[in-house]
Structure 1
Amino acid sequence: MADMTDPGKRTDRRIVRSRTALRQALLTLMADKPFTTISITEIVELADYNRGTFYSNYESKEALLDEIIADLIDKLLLSFRVPYEKEEFFRVDQLRAHSVKLFEHIYEHAAVYTVFLKSDMLMALREKMFTAIKTILKEELVYTAKTDIDEELLRIYSIHALLGLVFHWVESGYKHSPAYMQEQLVKIINYHPTTAKTSIKR
Protein backbone atom coordinates (compact mmCIF):
# COMPACT_ATOMS: atom_id res chain seq x y z
CA MET A 1 0.00 0.00 0.00
CA ALA A 2 1.30 3.44 -0.91
CA ASP A 3 2.36 5.75 1.90
CA MET A 4 -0.37 8.42 2.03
CA THR A 5 1.35 10.42 4.77
CA ASP A 6 1.59 14.12 4.02
CA PRO A 7 5.09 14.68 2.54
CA GLY A 8 5.32 17.93 4.47
CA LYS A 9 4.75 16.13 7.76
CA ARG A 10 7.37 13.51 6.84
CA THR A 11 9.82 16.33 6.15
CA ASP A 12 8.93 18.05 9.40
CA ARG A 13 9.56 14.84 11.34
CA ARG A 14 12.93 14.45 9.65
CA ILE A 15 13.86 18.02 10.56
CA VAL A 16 12.80 17.52 14.17
CA ARG A 17 14.72 14.24 14.32
CA SER A 18 17.91 15.71 12.90
CA ARG A 19 17.76 18.83 15.08
CA THR A 20 17.14 16.76 18.19
CA ALA A 21 20.10 14.54 17.37
CA LEU A 22 22.39 17.51 16.70
CA ARG A 23 21.35 19.24 19.91
CA GLN A 24 21.93 16.09 21.96
CA ALA A 25 25.30 15.54 20.29
CA LEU A 26 26.43 19.06 21.18
CA LEU A 27 25.32 18.67 24.81
CA THR A 28 27.11 15.33 25.06
CA LEU A 29 30.32 16.89 23.75
CA MET A 30 29.95 19.90 26.06
CA ALA A 31 29.87 17.54 29.03
CA ASP A 32 33.44 16.50 28.21
CA LYS A 33 35.12 19.53 26.64
CA PRO A 34 34.82 23.32 26.25
CA PHE A 35 32.29 24.54 23.70
CA THR A 36 34.96 26.68 22.06
CA THR A 37 36.98 23.58 21.14
CA ILE A 38 34.08 21.56 19.70
CA SER A 39 33.98 21.27 15.91
CA ILE A 40 30.99 20.83 13.64
CA THR A 41 32.60 17.64 12.37
CA GLU A 42 32.51 16.21 15.89
CA ILE A 43 28.87 17.18 16.30
CA VAL A 44 27.68 15.59 13.06
CA GLU A 45 29.74 12.44 13.56
CA LEU A 46 28.29 11.90 17.02
CA ALA A 47 24.77 12.67 15.77
CA ASP A 48 25.31 10.31 12.80
CA TYR A 49 24.50 12.98 10.22
CA ASN A 50 26.58 14.81 7.63
CA ARG A 51 27.70 18.43 7.41
CA GLY A 52 25.08 19.12 4.74
CA THR A 53 22.33 18.21 7.21
CA PHE A 54 23.91 20.44 9.83
CA TYR A 55 24.10 23.47 7.54
CA SER A 56 20.56 22.94 6.30
CA ASN A 57 19.45 23.52 9.90
CA TYR A 58 22.07 25.83 11.44
CA GLU A 59 24.56 28.32 10.09
CA SER A 60 27.03 27.65 12.90
CA LYS A 61 27.56 25.74 16.14
CA GLU A 62 26.76 29.01 17.94
CA ALA A 63 23.33 29.03 16.28
CA LEU A 64 22.77 25.47 17.50
CA LEU A 65 23.76 26.47 21.03
CA ASP A 66 21.49 29.52 20.87
CA GLU A 67 18.54 27.30 19.95
CA ILE A 68 19.24 25.02 22.93
CA ILE A 69 19.39 27.99 25.30
CA ALA A 70 16.31 29.68 23.78
CA ASP A 71 14.24 26.52 24.15
CA LEU A 72 15.40 26.10 27.76
CA ILE A 73 14.54 29.72 28.60
CA ASP A 74 11.11 29.49 26.94
CA LYS A 75 10.30 26.58 29.27
CA LEU A 76 11.85 28.41 32.22
CA LEU A 77 9.59 31.42 31.66
CA LEU A 78 6.50 29.23 31.36
CA SER A 79 7.28 27.76 34.79
CA PHE A 80 8.10 31.20 36.23
CA ARG A 81 4.73 32.64 35.19
CA VAL A 82 2.59 29.89 36.74
CA PRO A 83 1.94 31.59 40.12
CA TYR A 84 0.53 34.77 38.58
CA GLU A 85 -0.49 34.08 34.97
CA LYS A 86 -4.21 33.78 35.83
CA GLU A 87 -4.27 36.54 38.44
CA GLU A 88 -5.12 40.21 38.01
CA PHE A 89 -3.31 41.04 41.25
CA PHE A 90 -0.44 38.88 42.47
CA ARG A 91 0.04 38.84 46.25
CA VAL A 92 3.63 37.85 46.89
CA ASP A 93 2.91 37.45 50.61
CA GLN A 94 0.24 34.87 49.76
CA LEU A 95 2.45 32.84 47.43
CA ARG A 96 2.05 29.10 48.02
CA ALA A 97 4.89 26.63 47.54
CA HIS A 98 2.83 24.29 45.36
CA SER A 99 2.27 27.07 42.81
CA VAL A 100 6.02 27.62 42.34
CA LYS A 101 7.02 25.52 39.34
CA LEU A 102 10.48 26.93 38.64
CA PHE A 103 12.37 24.21 40.50
CA GLU A 104 10.28 21.50 38.86
CA HIS A 105 11.37 22.88 35.49
CA ILE A 106 15.04 22.91 36.53
CA TYR A 107 14.81 19.35 37.84
CA GLU A 108 13.01 18.12 34.71
CA HIS A 109 15.93 19.44 32.64
CA ALA A 110 18.59 18.65 35.24
CA ALA A 111 20.90 16.95 32.76
CA VAL A 112 21.05 20.03 30.54
CA TYR A 113 21.55 22.47 33.42
CA THR A 114 24.30 20.24 34.81
CA VAL A 115 26.10 20.27 31.46
CA PHE A 116 25.99 24.08 31.38
CA LEU A 117 27.12 24.29 35.00
CA LYS A 118 30.39 22.57 34.07
CA SER A 119 30.70 24.31 30.71
CA ASP A 120 32.46 27.43 29.50
CA MET A 121 29.02 28.57 28.34
CA LEU A 122 27.55 28.82 31.85
CA MET A 123 27.80 32.62 31.94
CA ALA A 124 26.07 32.87 28.56
CA LEU A 125 23.16 30.83 29.92
CA ARG A 126 22.97 32.81 33.18
CA GLU A 127 23.04 36.14 31.37
CA LYS A 128 20.21 35.13 29.04
CA MET A 129 18.19 33.74 31.95
CA PHE A 130 18.73 37.00 33.84
CA THR A 131 17.70 39.14 30.87
CA ALA A 132 14.60 37.05 30.15
CA ILE A 133 13.35 37.12 33.75
CA LYS A 134 14.12 40.83 34.08
CA THR A 135 12.11 41.54 30.94
CA ILE A 136 8.98 39.72 32.06
CA LEU A 137 9.18 41.17 35.57
CA LYS A 138 9.26 44.65 34.05
CA GLU A 139 6.53 43.97 31.49
CA GLU A 140 4.17 41.70 33.43
CA LEU A 141 4.40 42.65 37.11
CA VAL A 142 3.77 46.26 38.12
CA TYR A 143 4.34 47.12 41.77
CA THR A 144 1.26 48.79 43.29
CA ALA A 145 2.63 49.63 46.76
CA LYS A 146 4.18 53.07 47.14
CA THR A 147 7.86 52.91 47.97
CA ASP A 148 11.01 54.92 47.49
CA ILE A 149 12.93 51.80 46.49
CA ASP A 150 14.29 51.96 42.95
CA GLU A 151 12.26 49.31 41.06
CA GLU A 152 15.09 48.58 38.64
CA LEU A 153 17.49 47.87 41.50
CA LEU A 154 14.85 45.77 43.25
CA ARG A 155 14.38 43.62 40.15
CA ILE A 156 18.13 43.17 39.71
CA TYR A 157 18.58 42.23 43.38
CA SER A 158 15.67 39.76 43.31
CA ILE A 159 16.75 38.04 40.09
CA HIS A 160 20.36 37.63 41.20
CA ALA A 161 19.15 36.16 44.49
CA LEU A 162 16.81 33.74 42.71
CA LEU A 163 19.41 32.59 40.16
CA GLY A 164 22.00 32.26 42.93
CA LEU A 165 19.65 29.91 44.76
CA VAL A 166 18.88 27.95 41.59
CA PHE A 167 22.51 27.40 40.61
CA HIS A 168 23.53 26.60 44.17
CA TRP A 169 20.95 23.82 44.01
CA VAL A 170 22.31 22.61 40.66
CA GLU A 171 25.88 22.71 42.04
CA SER A 172 24.79 20.62 45.02
CA GLY A 173 23.70 17.86 42.64
CA TYR A 174 20.04 18.59 43.41
CA LYS A 175 20.60 17.77 47.09
CA HIS A 176 17.03 18.72 47.96
CA SER A 177 13.78 17.89 46.19
CA PRO A 178 12.01 20.49 44.02
CA ALA A 179 9.20 20.58 46.62
CA TYR A 180 11.68 21.42 49.39
CA MET A 181 13.27 24.18 47.31
CA GLN A 182 9.85 25.62 46.52
CA GLU A 183 8.93 25.67 50.21
CA GLN A 184 12.23 27.28 51.17
CA LEU A 185 11.93 29.95 48.47
CA VAL A 186 8.52 31.00 49.78
CA LYS A 187 9.85 31.12 53.35
CA ILE A 188 12.86 33.18 52.24
CA ILE A 189 10.64 35.64 50.37
CA ASN A 190 8.53 36.17 53.48
CA TYR A 191 11.43 36.30 55.95
CA HIS A 192 12.09 39.84 57.10
CA PRO A 193 14.46 39.80 60.09
CA THR A 194 14.96 43.09 61.90
CA THR A 195 17.81 42.14 64.23
CA ALA A 196 20.68 39.66 64.37
CA LYS A 197 22.88 38.68 67.30
CA THR A 198 26.59 39.10 66.63
CA SER A 199 29.24 36.62 67.66
CA ILE A 200 32.11 39.08 67.63
CA LYS A 201 34.23 38.85 70.77
CA ARG A 202 34.83 42.23 72.33
Structure 2
Amino acid sequence: MEVFELNKLTTSAIKVFDHVKRFAVFYSLTVQTTTLAGFQHRFCSIFKELALNDFYKDFPNPKINTELSAGYQAYAIFGLIIEWINGGFKYSSSYMTEQLLEIIKYNQSGSVYNPRIDSK
Protein backbone atom coordinates (compact mmCIF):
# COMPACT_ATOMS: atom_id res chain seq x y z
CA MET A 1 0.00 0.00 0.00
CA GLU A 2 1.30 3.43 -0.94
CA VAL A 3 1.65 5.88 1.95
CA PHE A 4 0.92 9.57 1.53
CA GLU A 5 3.04 11.87 3.67
CA LEU A 6 2.14 15.56 3.72
CA ASN A 7 5.62 16.60 4.83
CA LYS A 8 7.02 15.03 1.63
CA LEU A 9 4.43 16.61 -0.68
CA THR A 10 5.98 18.70 -3.45
CA THR A 11 4.59 21.59 -5.46
CA SER A 12 4.65 19.47 -8.62
CA ALA A 13 2.05 17.15 -7.07
CA ILE A 14 -0.50 19.94 -6.60
CA LYS A 15 -2.25 20.85 -9.84
CA VAL A 16 -5.41 22.66 -8.71
CA PHE A 17 -3.99 26.16 -9.17
CA ASP A 18 -2.69 25.32 -12.65
CA HIS A 19 -6.19 24.18 -13.57
CA VAL A 20 -7.84 27.28 -12.13
CA LYS A 21 -5.39 29.54 -13.97
CA ARG A 22 -5.87 27.71 -17.26
CA PHE A 23 -9.64 28.15 -16.95
CA ALA A 24 -9.48 31.55 -15.24
CA VAL A 25 -12.44 33.02 -17.11
CA PHE A 26 -14.69 30.12 -16.10
CA TYR A 27 -13.63 30.19 -12.45
CA SER A 28 -13.88 33.96 -12.25
CA LEU A 29 -17.42 33.88 -13.59
CA THR A 30 -18.52 31.08 -11.29
CA VAL A 31 -17.05 32.69 -8.20
CA GLN A 32 -18.21 36.22 -8.93
CA THR A 33 -21.74 35.50 -10.19
CA THR A 34 -24.84 34.86 -8.13
CA THR A 35 -26.56 32.78 -10.81
CA LEU A 36 -24.46 29.69 -10.09
CA ALA A 37 -25.00 29.58 -6.34
CA GLY A 38 -24.51 25.82 -6.10
CA PHE A 39 -21.12 25.83 -7.79
CA GLN A 40 -19.12 26.68 -4.69
CA HIS A 41 -20.85 23.95 -2.71
CA ARG A 42 -20.29 21.40 -5.49
CA PHE A 43 -16.65 22.39 -5.84
CA CYS A 44 -16.03 21.94 -2.12
CA SER A 45 -17.96 18.65 -2.10
CA ILE A 46 -15.61 17.29 -4.75
CA PHE A 47 -12.55 18.41 -2.77
CA LYS A 48 -14.00 16.89 0.39
CA GLU A 49 -14.71 13.61 -1.38
CA LEU A 50 -11.17 13.49 -2.75
CA ALA A 51 -9.76 14.11 0.71
CA LEU A 52 -11.91 11.40 2.28
CA ASN A 53 -11.03 8.87 -0.41
CA ASP A 54 -7.33 9.62 -0.68
CA PHE A 55 -6.08 11.09 2.58
CA TYR A 56 -8.27 9.92 5.43
CA LYS A 57 -8.30 6.13 4.95
CA ASP A 58 -6.06 5.45 7.93
CA PHE A 59 -6.26 8.77 9.74
CA PRO A 60 -3.91 8.61 12.74
CA ASN A 61 -5.91 10.76 15.17
CA PRO A 62 -9.14 9.13 16.34
CA LYS A 63 -10.18 12.33 18.17
CA ILE A 64 -10.61 14.19 14.87
CA ASN A 65 -13.78 13.65 12.89
CA THR A 66 -12.58 12.87 9.36
CA GLU A 67 -15.72 14.29 7.71
CA LEU A 68 -15.25 17.63 9.47
CA SER A 69 -11.54 17.70 8.79
CA ALA A 70 -12.02 16.95 5.10
CA GLY A 71 -14.67 19.68 4.89
CA TYR A 72 -12.34 22.12 6.59
CA GLN A 73 -9.58 21.34 4.10
CA ALA A 74 -11.94 21.61 1.10
CA TYR A 75 -13.29 25.01 2.09
CA ALA A 76 -9.81 26.26 3.01
CA ILE A 77 -8.48 25.42 -0.45
CA PHE A 78 -11.51 26.97 -2.09
CA GLY A 79 -10.98 30.05 0.08
CA LEU A 80 -7.46 30.40 -1.32
CA ILE A 81 -8.84 30.10 -4.83
CA ILE A 82 -11.45 32.79 -4.14
CA GLU A 83 -8.81 35.13 -2.72
CA TRP A 84 -6.65 34.52 -5.77
CA ILE A 85 -9.52 35.22 -8.17
CA ASN A 86 -10.69 38.32 -6.27
CA GLY A 87 -7.11 39.59 -6.29
CA GLY A 88 -7.05 39.42 -10.08
CA PHE A 89 -4.70 36.42 -10.22
CA LYS A 90 -1.85 38.68 -9.13
CA TYR A 91 0.20 35.65 -8.04
CA SER A 92 1.37 32.81 -10.24
CA SER A 93 -0.14 29.36 -9.90
CA SER A 94 3.22 28.07 -8.65
CA TYR A 95 3.27 30.74 -5.93
CA MET A 96 -0.26 29.74 -4.86
CA THR A 97 0.81 26.11 -4.74
CA GLU A 98 3.85 27.00 -2.63
CA GLN A 99 1.65 28.99 -0.26
CA LEU A 100 -0.82 26.11 0.12
CA LEU A 101 2.03 23.74 0.88
CA GLU A 102 3.54 26.11 3.45
CA ILE A 103 0.14 26.59 5.12
CA ILE A 104 -0.41 22.83 5.30
CA LYS A 105 3.05 22.26 6.76
CA TYR A 106 2.64 25.10 9.24
CA ASN A 107 -0.74 23.84 10.41
CA GLN A 108 0.76 20.39 10.95
CA SER A 109 3.67 21.67 12.98
CA GLY A 110 1.64 22.03 16.15
CA SER A 111 2.60 25.67 16.42
CA VAL A 112 1.34 27.59 19.40
CA TYR A 113 0.00 31.10 19.04
CA ASN A 114 0.36 33.85 21.58
CA PRO A 115 -2.50 36.12 20.62
CA ARG A 116 -1.99 39.81 21.04
CA ILE A 117 -4.66 41.11 23.35
CA ASP A 118 -4.91 44.85 23.69
CA SER A 119 -6.09 46.01 27.06
CA LYS A 120 -8.26 49.08 26.92
* TM-score, L = length of structure 2: 0.85
1:11-160 map, 5 Å? 88-141=2-55, 142-160=57-75
Identify the residue that residue 59 of structure 1 maps to in structure 2.
none
Structure whose alpha-carbon radius of gyration is higher: 1
CA shift at 1:118, angstroms?
2.5
Structure 2 unaligned blocks of 5 or more = none
2:105 to 190, 195, 198: 190
What CA distance in whole angstroms lies between the structure 2 residues aligned with 1:121 and 1:89? 41
Q: Deviations over 1:51-102 (max 9, x none)?
A: xxxxxxxxxxxxxxxxxxxxxxxxxxxxxxxxxxxx8211112111222111
CA shift at 1:122, angstroms?
4.2
* TM-score, L = length of structure 1: 0.53
Identify the residue that residue 77 of structure 1 maps to in structure 2.
none
What CA distance in whole angstroms lies between the structure 2 residues aligned with 1:97 and 1:173? 22
Q: Deviations over 1:2-22 (max 9, x none)?
A: xxxxxxxxxxxxxxxxxxxxx
Letter of the 2:22 counterpart:
E
What CA distance in whole angstroms lies between the structure 2 residues aligned with 1:158 and 1:107? 20
Greater RCO between the two (CA within 8 Å, min separation 6)?
2
Identify the residue that residue 69 of structure 1 maps to in structure 2.
none
Structure 1 unaligned blocks of 5 or more = 1-86
CA shift at 1:114, angstroms?
1.2
What CA distance in whole angstroms lies between the structure 2 residues aligned with 1:153 and 1:167? 21
2:96 to 161, 170, 181: 181
Kindly report the root-mean-square deviation, in angstroms, between the aligned alpha carbons of the 2 structures.
Answer: 1.8
Letter of the 1:188 counterpart:
I
Q: Deviations over 1:108-160 (max 9, x none)?
A: 00011111222123431111111122222223331341331111111111111
Moved over 3 A (4+): none
Letter of the 1:120 counterpart:
T
Closer, same or farther: CA 170–122 of 1 in aligned 2, 3 Å: farther
Letter of the 1:149 counterpart:
I
Indicate if the aligned counterparts of 2:17 and 2:93 stay in contact, CA closer than 8 A: yes
